Structure 1
Amino acid sequence: MSRTTARAWAQICKLSLATAFVFSAMPVQAQDVLITPELPFLEFDTGSEFVFIERNQDPEARIPDFFSQTSRQCPPFCVQPMSAGEGVETVGELEVLAFLEEHVAKGTGVLIDARLREWYDRGTIPGAMSLSFTTFENPDSNPFLVPVLQLLGGEQANGAWTFDDPLELTMFCNGPWCGQSHRAIENLLSVGYPPEKIRYYRGGMQGWLSVGLTVVTPAGS
Protein backbone atom coordinates (compact mmCIF):
# COMPACT_ATOMS: atom_id res chain seq x y z
CA MET A 1 0.00 0.00 0.00
CA SER A 2 1.35 3.44 -0.90
CA ARG A 3 1.62 6.30 1.57
CA THR A 4 -0.86 8.23 -0.60
CA THR A 5 -3.47 5.51 -0.16
CA ALA A 6 -2.92 5.48 3.60
CA ARG A 7 -3.32 9.23 3.84
CA ALA A 8 -6.46 9.21 1.69
CA TRP A 9 -8.00 6.52 3.85
CA ALA A 10 -7.24 8.50 6.98
CA GLN A 11 -8.81 11.67 5.61
CA ILE A 12 -11.93 9.95 4.32
CA CYS A 13 -12.49 8.33 7.71
CA LYS A 14 -11.76 11.62 9.49
CA LEU A 15 -9.02 10.02 11.53
CA SER A 16 -7.36 13.34 12.35
CA LEU A 17 -4.05 12.81 10.57
CA ALA A 18 -2.32 16.18 10.64
CA THR A 19 -1.44 17.73 7.31
CA ALA A 20 0.93 20.31 8.80
CA PHE A 21 2.71 20.64 12.10
CA VAL A 22 4.37 23.84 13.23
CA PHE A 23 5.72 25.55 16.30
CA SER A 24 4.37 29.02 16.98
CA ALA A 25 6.75 31.72 18.09
CA MET A 26 4.48 32.80 20.93
CA PRO A 27 1.32 31.35 22.50
CA VAL A 28 -2.03 33.07 22.05
CA GLN A 29 -2.01 33.96 25.76
CA ALA A 30 0.84 34.20 28.20
CA GLN A 31 1.56 30.78 29.67
CA ASP A 32 3.08 29.86 33.00
CA VAL A 33 2.70 26.08 32.70
CA LEU A 34 4.89 24.92 29.83
CA ILE A 35 5.32 21.45 28.39
CA THR A 36 9.10 21.83 28.69
CA PRO A 37 11.21 24.98 29.10
CA GLU A 38 11.86 24.90 25.35
CA LEU A 39 8.35 23.85 24.34
CA PRO A 40 5.47 26.04 25.54
CA PHE A 41 2.89 24.27 23.37
CA LEU A 42 2.37 22.63 20.00
CA GLU A 43 0.01 23.67 17.22
CA PHE A 44 -0.93 21.52 14.26
CA ASP A 45 -3.38 21.52 11.39
CA THR A 46 -5.74 18.55 11.13
CA GLY A 47 -6.83 19.64 7.69
CA SER A 48 -10.00 21.27 8.93
CA GLU A 49 -8.89 23.27 11.98
CA PHE A 50 -5.90 24.31 14.00
CA VAL A 51 -5.50 22.51 17.32
CA PHE A 52 -3.33 23.45 20.26
CA ILE A 53 -1.69 20.88 22.47
CA GLU A 54 -0.72 22.57 25.69
CA ARG A 55 -0.94 22.07 29.43
CA ASN A 56 -3.84 23.28 31.51
CA GLN A 57 -2.98 26.77 32.79
CA ASP A 58 -5.30 26.56 35.82
CA PRO A 59 -3.08 26.01 38.90
CA GLU A 60 -6.08 24.48 40.69
CA ALA A 61 -6.83 21.92 37.96
CA ARG A 62 -7.09 18.29 39.04
CA ILE A 63 -7.18 14.99 37.20
CA PRO A 64 -10.78 13.76 36.63
CA ASP A 65 -12.14 11.53 39.39
CA PHE A 66 -12.35 8.46 37.17
CA PHE A 67 -8.63 8.55 36.54
CA SER A 68 -7.79 9.10 40.19
CA GLN A 69 -9.21 5.74 41.29
CA THR A 70 -6.49 3.39 42.53
CA SER A 71 -8.23 0.07 43.15
CA ARG A 72 -10.20 -1.20 40.20
CA GLN A 73 -10.99 -4.91 40.23
CA CYS A 74 -8.46 -7.12 38.47
CA PRO A 75 -9.29 -8.71 36.14
CA PRO A 76 -9.96 -6.84 33.95
CA PHE A 77 -8.20 -3.76 35.33
CA CYS A 78 -4.77 -5.26 35.98
CA VAL A 79 -1.42 -3.49 36.12
CA GLN A 80 0.29 -3.87 32.77
CA PRO A 81 3.97 -4.67 32.23
CA MET A 82 6.24 -1.89 31.06
CA SER A 83 6.98 -3.72 27.82
CA ALA A 84 4.29 -4.64 25.31
CA GLY A 85 6.60 -7.02 23.49
CA GLU A 86 10.20 -7.56 22.48
CA GLY A 87 11.34 -4.74 20.23
CA VAL A 88 8.34 -2.51 21.00
CA GLU A 89 9.36 0.84 22.47
CA THR A 90 7.49 2.10 25.54
CA VAL A 91 7.08 5.87 25.36
CA GLY A 92 5.90 8.82 27.43
CA GLU A 93 4.14 12.08 26.72
CA LEU A 94 7.06 13.88 25.08
CA GLU A 95 7.64 10.97 22.75
CA VAL A 96 3.96 10.99 21.77
CA LEU A 97 4.23 14.69 20.93
CA ALA A 98 7.34 14.00 18.86
CA PHE A 99 5.51 11.17 17.10
CA LEU A 100 2.73 13.56 16.13
CA GLU A 101 5.28 15.92 14.63
CA GLU A 102 7.53 13.38 12.95
CA HIS A 103 5.00 10.84 11.69
CA VAL A 104 1.31 11.76 12.06
CA ALA A 105 1.81 15.20 10.52
CA LYS A 106 3.63 13.67 7.55
CA GLY A 107 1.27 10.77 6.95
CA THR A 108 3.88 8.14 7.81
CA GLY A 109 2.35 7.11 11.12
CA VAL A 110 -0.88 6.75 13.08
CA LEU A 111 -1.59 7.47 16.74
CA ILE A 112 -4.15 4.81 17.67
CA ASP A 113 -6.63 5.11 20.52
CA ALA A 114 -7.21 1.40 21.18
CA ARG A 115 -10.11 1.92 23.58
CA LEU A 116 -13.70 1.15 22.70
CA ARG A 117 -15.28 3.88 20.59
CA GLU A 118 -17.43 5.12 23.46
CA TRP A 119 -14.28 6.06 25.37
CA TYR A 120 -12.73 7.76 22.37
CA ASP A 121 -15.90 9.83 21.98
CA ARG A 122 -15.60 11.08 25.56
CA GLY A 123 -12.21 12.62 24.84
CA THR A 124 -8.92 11.64 23.27
CA ILE A 125 -5.45 12.90 22.38
CA PRO A 126 -5.48 15.41 19.51
CA GLY A 127 -4.48 13.70 16.28
CA ALA A 128 -5.48 10.21 17.46
CA MET A 129 -7.72 7.88 15.49
CA SER A 130 -10.14 5.37 16.98
CA LEU A 131 -9.21 1.76 16.26
CA SER A 132 -10.50 -0.39 19.09
CA PHE A 133 -8.45 -3.30 20.43
CA THR A 134 -11.39 -5.53 19.42
CA THR A 135 -10.43 -4.88 15.80
CA PHE A 136 -7.25 -6.91 16.37
CA GLU A 137 -8.76 -9.80 18.32
CA ASN A 138 -8.56 -13.37 16.92
CA PRO A 139 -6.29 -12.33 14.03
CA ASP A 140 -6.38 -15.78 12.40
CA SER A 141 -10.14 -15.71 11.94
CA ASN A 142 -11.13 -12.04 12.10
CA PRO A 143 -12.26 -10.88 8.62
CA PHE A 144 -12.46 -7.25 9.73
CA LEU A 145 -8.74 -7.17 10.45
CA VAL A 146 -7.70 -7.83 6.85
CA PRO A 147 -8.56 -4.36 5.42
CA VAL A 148 -7.10 -2.67 8.48
CA LEU A 149 -3.76 -4.44 8.12
CA GLN A 150 -3.74 -3.66 4.41
CA LEU A 151 -4.29 0.02 5.11
CA LEU A 152 -1.48 -0.05 7.68
CA GLY A 153 0.87 -1.36 5.02
CA GLY A 154 0.50 -5.13 5.14
CA GLU A 155 0.14 -7.57 2.26
CA GLN A 156 -1.36 -11.04 2.57
CA ALA A 157 -0.44 -14.07 0.46
CA ASN A 158 -1.36 -17.69 1.17
CA GLY A 159 -2.67 -16.72 4.59
CA ALA A 160 0.59 -15.07 5.70
CA TRP A 161 1.24 -11.37 6.20
CA THR A 162 4.27 -9.39 5.09
CA PHE A 163 5.03 -5.82 6.09
CA ASP A 164 7.68 -4.36 3.81
CA ASP A 165 6.87 -0.69 4.45
CA PRO A 166 4.23 -0.41 7.17
CA LEU A 167 3.10 2.75 8.91
CA GLU A 168 4.64 3.75 12.22
CA LEU A 169 2.20 3.18 15.09
CA THR A 170 1.80 4.52 18.61
CA MET A 171 -0.95 2.86 20.62
CA PHE A 172 -2.58 3.83 23.91
CA CYS A 173 -5.65 3.20 26.04
CA ASN A 174 -6.71 4.41 29.50
CA GLY A 175 -3.54 3.90 31.51
CA PRO A 176 -1.15 1.44 33.21
CA TRP A 177 -4.12 -0.55 34.49
CA CYS A 178 -5.71 -0.86 31.01
CA GLY A 179 -4.75 -3.84 28.89
CA GLN A 180 -6.51 -2.87 25.66
CA SER A 181 -3.59 -1.35 23.77
CA HIS A 182 -1.32 -4.08 25.13
CA ARG A 183 -3.65 -6.73 23.69
CA ALA A 184 -3.84 -4.95 20.36
CA ILE A 185 -0.05 -4.83 20.13
CA GLU A 186 0.27 -8.52 21.02
CA ASN A 187 -2.13 -9.40 18.20
CA LEU A 188 -0.28 -7.18 15.73
CA LEU A 189 2.99 -8.87 16.64
CA SER A 190 1.38 -12.28 16.22
CA VAL A 191 0.70 -11.59 12.54
CA GLY A 192 4.20 -10.28 11.93
CA TYR A 193 3.87 -6.51 12.28
CA PRO A 194 7.44 -5.27 12.83
CA PRO A 195 7.93 -4.46 16.53
CA GLU A 196 10.28 -1.59 15.71
CA LYS A 197 7.34 0.09 13.97
CA ILE A 198 5.19 0.03 17.12
CA ARG A 199 5.32 2.27 20.19
CA TYR A 200 3.38 1.65 23.40
CA TYR A 201 2.20 4.69 25.35
CA ARG A 202 1.65 2.90 28.64
CA GLY A 203 0.53 6.03 30.52
CA GLY A 204 -2.43 6.42 28.18
CA MET A 205 -5.19 8.87 28.99
CA GLN A 206 -4.39 8.77 32.71
CA GLY A 207 -0.82 9.87 32.05
CA TRP A 208 -1.90 12.47 29.49
CA LEU A 209 -4.44 13.99 31.87
CA SER A 210 -2.12 13.83 34.87
CA VAL A 211 0.18 16.41 33.27
CA GLY A 212 -2.73 18.53 32.03
CA LEU A 213 -2.30 18.07 28.29
CA THR A 214 -5.07 18.97 25.85
CA VAL A 215 -7.90 16.50 25.33
CA VAL A 216 -10.34 16.85 22.43
CA THR A 217 -13.82 15.51 21.82
CA PRO A 218 -14.17 14.19 18.27
CA ALA A 219 -16.55 16.06 16.00
CA GLY A 220 -20.03 14.60 16.11
CA SER A 221 -19.57 12.99 19.53
Structure 2
Amino acid sequence: MKKLLILGISMFASQLVFAQAATIAPGTPLNIFEGKKEVVVQTSNGPVTITRVMTSCAKNGGTLQPLIPLPGVTPVSEAEIMTALGDKNSLVVDMRDSNDRIKGTIPGSISIPYTEVAMRMDELGCKKLPAGGKKPWDCSQAKKVYSFCNGPVCPQSPFAMKAMVRDGFPATKIYYYRGGMLDWDALGLTSVKGEF
Protein backbone atom coordinates (compact mmCIF):
# COMPACT_ATOMS: atom_id res chain seq x y z
CA MET A 1 0.00 0.00 0.00
CA LYS A 2 2.84 2.37 0.92
CA LYS A 3 4.59 1.74 -2.45
CA LEU A 4 1.32 2.40 -4.28
CA LEU A 5 0.84 5.67 -2.41
CA ILE A 6 4.42 6.77 -3.17
CA LEU A 7 3.94 5.86 -6.86
CA GLY A 8 0.68 7.84 -6.98
CA ILE A 9 2.27 10.90 -5.38
CA SER A 10 5.29 10.77 -7.71
CA MET A 11 3.03 10.39 -10.78
CA PHE A 12 0.94 13.38 -9.64
CA ALA A 13 4.07 15.47 -9.05
CA SER A 14 5.51 14.57 -12.45
CA GLN A 15 2.21 15.46 -14.15
CA LEU A 16 2.27 18.80 -12.34
CA VAL A 17 5.83 19.45 -13.52
CA PHE A 18 4.91 18.66 -17.13
CA ALA A 19 1.79 20.83 -16.97
CA GLN A 20 3.83 23.73 -15.62
CA ALA A 21 6.51 23.28 -18.31
CA ALA A 22 3.98 24.16 -20.99
CA THR A 23 3.54 27.62 -19.43
CA ILE A 24 7.22 28.56 -19.11
CA ALA A 25 7.86 31.79 -21.00
CA PRO A 26 10.72 31.95 -23.56
CA GLY A 27 13.82 33.44 -21.95
CA THR A 28 13.13 31.93 -18.52
CA PRO A 29 16.34 30.47 -16.96
CA LEU A 30 16.18 26.68 -16.70
CA ASN A 31 18.18 23.98 -14.94
CA ILE A 32 20.87 22.20 -16.94
CA PHE A 33 21.23 19.45 -14.36
CA GLU A 34 19.06 18.87 -11.30
CA GLY A 35 19.44 21.99 -9.15
CA LYS A 36 22.14 23.50 -11.39
CA LYS A 37 21.46 26.41 -13.75
CA GLU A 38 24.99 26.95 -15.07
CA VAL A 39 28.24 25.22 -15.92
CA VAL A 40 31.52 27.15 -16.15
CA VAL A 41 34.06 25.94 -18.71
CA GLN A 42 37.60 27.18 -19.27
CA THR A 43 38.41 28.30 -22.83
CA SER A 44 41.51 29.84 -24.39
CA ASN A 45 39.77 33.22 -23.94
CA GLY A 46 38.97 32.65 -20.28
CA PRO A 47 35.99 31.15 -18.46
CA VAL A 48 32.60 30.94 -20.18
CA THR A 49 29.39 30.27 -18.29
CA ILE A 50 26.96 27.95 -20.07
CA THR A 51 23.33 28.60 -19.16
CA ARG A 52 20.01 27.41 -20.53
CA VAL A 53 16.83 29.38 -21.20
CA MET A 54 13.42 28.36 -22.46
CA THR A 55 13.09 28.86 -26.21
CA SER A 56 9.99 29.06 -28.34
CA CYS A 57 10.72 25.61 -29.80
CA ALA A 58 11.46 23.90 -26.45
CA LYS A 59 9.16 21.06 -25.40
CA ASN A 60 9.61 21.33 -21.64
CA GLY A 61 11.70 22.70 -18.83
CA GLY A 62 13.19 19.44 -17.54
CA THR A 63 16.86 18.72 -16.92
CA LEU A 64 19.32 17.08 -19.32
CA GLN A 65 18.85 13.33 -19.44
CA PRO A 66 21.85 11.00 -19.80
CA LEU A 67 22.39 9.49 -23.24
CA ILE A 68 22.28 6.06 -21.61
CA PRO A 69 19.73 6.21 -18.77
CA LEU A 70 20.40 2.61 -17.64
CA PRO A 71 23.23 0.16 -18.28
CA GLY A 72 22.39 -1.96 -21.34
CA VAL A 73 20.13 0.61 -23.03
CA THR A 74 21.32 1.63 -26.52
CA PRO A 75 21.05 5.24 -27.71
CA VAL A 76 19.72 5.66 -31.27
CA SER A 77 19.21 8.40 -33.84
CA GLU A 78 16.46 9.24 -36.29
CA ALA A 79 17.92 6.77 -38.82
CA GLU A 80 17.49 3.84 -36.43
CA ILE A 81 13.97 5.00 -35.55
CA MET A 82 12.96 4.98 -39.22
CA THR A 83 14.48 1.51 -39.69
CA ALA A 84 12.68 0.22 -36.58
CA LEU A 85 9.34 1.47 -37.93
CA GLY A 86 9.64 -1.17 -40.68
CA ASP A 87 10.87 -4.01 -38.43
CA LYS A 88 8.19 -6.47 -37.24
CA ASN A 89 10.32 -7.35 -34.19
CA SER A 90 10.51 -3.73 -33.05
CA LEU A 91 8.10 -1.20 -31.59
CA VAL A 92 8.62 2.55 -31.66
CA VAL A 93 6.91 3.72 -28.49
CA ASP A 94 5.85 7.28 -27.74
CA MET A 95 6.06 7.34 -23.95
CA ARG A 96 4.72 10.87 -23.57
CA ASP A 97 1.42 11.67 -22.02
CA SER A 98 -1.40 11.67 -24.59
CA ASN A 99 -1.83 15.48 -24.36
CA ASP A 100 1.61 15.81 -25.99
CA ARG A 101 1.13 12.94 -28.46
CA ILE A 102 -2.02 14.41 -29.95
CA LYS A 103 -0.07 17.57 -30.92
CA GLY A 104 2.28 15.52 -33.10
CA THR A 105 4.12 12.21 -33.05
CA ILE A 106 6.32 9.96 -35.17
CA PRO A 107 4.22 8.18 -37.83
CA GLY A 108 3.84 4.48 -37.05
CA SER A 109 4.71 4.86 -33.36
CA ILE A 110 2.43 3.45 -30.69
CA SER A 111 1.38 5.24 -27.52
CA ILE A 112 2.18 3.81 -24.11
CA PRO A 113 2.45 6.74 -21.68
CA TYR A 114 5.31 6.51 -19.20
CA THR A 115 2.82 6.27 -16.31
CA GLU A 116 1.23 3.14 -17.84
CA VAL A 117 4.15 1.15 -19.23
CA ALA A 118 4.63 -1.09 -16.18
CA MET A 119 0.98 -2.20 -16.48
CA ARG A 120 1.03 -2.65 -20.28
CA MET A 121 4.19 -4.66 -20.89
CA ASP A 122 2.08 -7.36 -22.55
CA GLU A 123 1.90 -4.94 -25.51
CA LEU A 124 5.72 -5.12 -25.69
CA GLY A 125 5.77 -8.93 -25.93
CA CYS A 126 5.96 -9.78 -22.22
CA LYS A 127 3.75 -12.26 -20.36
CA LYS A 128 2.27 -11.53 -16.93
CA LEU A 129 3.55 -13.92 -14.26
CA PRO A 130 1.59 -15.14 -11.23
CA ALA A 131 1.61 -12.78 -8.27
CA GLY A 132 4.27 -13.27 -5.63
CA GLY A 133 7.18 -13.98 -7.97
CA LYS A 134 10.48 -12.14 -8.13
CA LYS A 135 9.43 -10.17 -11.23
CA PRO A 136 5.86 -9.53 -12.41
CA TRP A 137 6.64 -10.15 -16.11
CA ASP A 138 8.38 -12.76 -18.28
CA CYS A 139 9.97 -10.71 -21.04
CA SER A 140 12.10 -13.42 -22.64
CA GLN A 141 10.13 -13.01 -25.89
CA ALA A 142 9.87 -9.21 -25.73
CA LYS A 143 10.20 -7.08 -28.82
CA LYS A 144 12.88 -4.44 -29.22
CA VAL A 145 11.46 -1.18 -27.86
CA TYR A 146 12.53 2.17 -29.33
CA SER A 147 11.36 4.73 -26.78
CA PHE A 148 11.09 8.48 -27.04
CA CYS A 149 9.44 11.47 -25.42
CA ASN A 150 9.80 15.25 -25.85
CA GLY A 151 13.58 15.51 -26.19
CA PRO A 152 16.91 15.64 -24.36
CA VAL A 153 15.46 17.19 -21.19
CA CYS A 154 12.32 15.06 -21.01
CA PRO A 155 12.38 12.49 -18.18
CA GLN A 156 9.26 10.57 -19.27
CA SER A 157 10.88 7.79 -21.32
CA PRO A 158 13.83 7.33 -18.91
CA PHE A 159 11.27 7.04 -16.08
CA ALA A 160 9.40 4.38 -18.10
CA MET A 161 12.59 2.47 -18.95
CA LYS A 162 13.50 2.23 -15.28
CA ALA A 163 10.05 0.81 -14.48
CA MET A 164 10.31 -1.66 -17.37
CA VAL A 165 13.70 -2.99 -16.28
CA ARG A 166 12.61 -3.12 -12.63
CA ASP A 167 9.69 -5.36 -13.65
CA GLY A 168 11.68 -7.75 -15.85
CA PHE A 169 12.17 -6.13 -19.27
CA PRO A 170 15.75 -6.64 -20.52
CA ALA A 171 17.62 -3.32 -20.83
CA THR A 172 19.42 -4.74 -23.87
CA LYS A 173 16.13 -4.67 -25.78
CA ILE A 174 15.55 -0.96 -25.07
CA TYR A 175 16.69 1.66 -27.57
CA TYR A 176 16.53 5.28 -26.45
CA TYR A 177 15.85 8.09 -28.91
CA ARG A 178 16.89 10.89 -26.55
CA GLY A 179 16.35 13.57 -29.21
CA GLY A 180 12.64 12.76 -29.18
CA MET A 181 10.07 15.06 -30.73
CA LEU A 182 12.24 18.14 -30.22
CA ASP A 183 14.94 16.83 -32.59
CA TRP A 184 12.43 15.11 -34.90
CA ASP A 185 10.61 18.41 -35.44
CA ALA A 186 13.84 20.44 -35.65
CA LEU A 187 15.02 18.20 -38.51
CA GLY A 188 11.77 18.80 -40.38
CA LEU A 189 10.75 15.14 -40.31
CA THR A 190 7.09 14.29 -40.86
CA SER A 191 4.89 13.99 -37.82
CA VAL A 192 1.22 13.09 -37.52
CA LYS A 193 -1.30 14.94 -35.37
CA GLY A 194 -4.50 13.89 -33.63
CA GLU A 195 -3.40 10.33 -32.75
CA PHE A 196 -3.88 8.79 -29.32
| TM superposition score normalised by structure 2 | 0.65
- 1:88 partnered with 2:73: yes
Deviation of the 1:66 alpha carbon: 4.0
Q: Out of 71, 75, 94, which is 1:113 matched to?
A: 94
Consecutive unaligned residues in structure 1, runs of 5 or more: 1-64, 140-144
* 143, 150, 171: which one aligns with 2:122: 150
Contact preservation (8 Å) 1:84, 1:90: no
**Which protein, 1 or 2, shows the higher relative CO under an 8 Å CA cutoff with sep ≥ 6?**
1
Task: Output aligned runs, 1:152-171, within 5 Å.
Answer: 152-155=124-127, 156-157=129-130, 158-159=132-133, 160=135, 161-171=137-147
Q: Aligned-pair RMSD on alpha carbons? A: 1.9
Q: Count the aligned residue pairs.
A: 138
Could you tell me which residue of structure 2 aligns to residue 177 of structure 1?
A: 153
Q: Is the 8 A contact 1:90 1:201 kept in 2?
A: yes
Matches within 5 A, 1:34-113: 66-68=56-58, 73=61, 77-101=62-86, 103=87, 106=88, 108-113=89-94
Taking the aligned partners of 2:175 and 2:185, their CA distance within structure 1 comes to 19
Kindly tell me: are residues 134 and 66 of structure 1, through their superposed partners in 2, closer, same or farther at Cα, counting changes over 3 Å?
farther
How much has 1:210 moved relative to structure 2? 1.3
* SS state at 2:176 partner: strand
- 1:125 lines up with 2:97 in the alignment: no
Cα distance between partner residues in 1 of 2:78 and 2:92: 12
Out of 182, 190, 193, the residue aligned to residue 206 of structure 1 is: 182
C-alpha distance after superposition, 1:167-193 (max 9, x if no partner): 111000000010001100111011120
Aligned AA for 2:192?
V
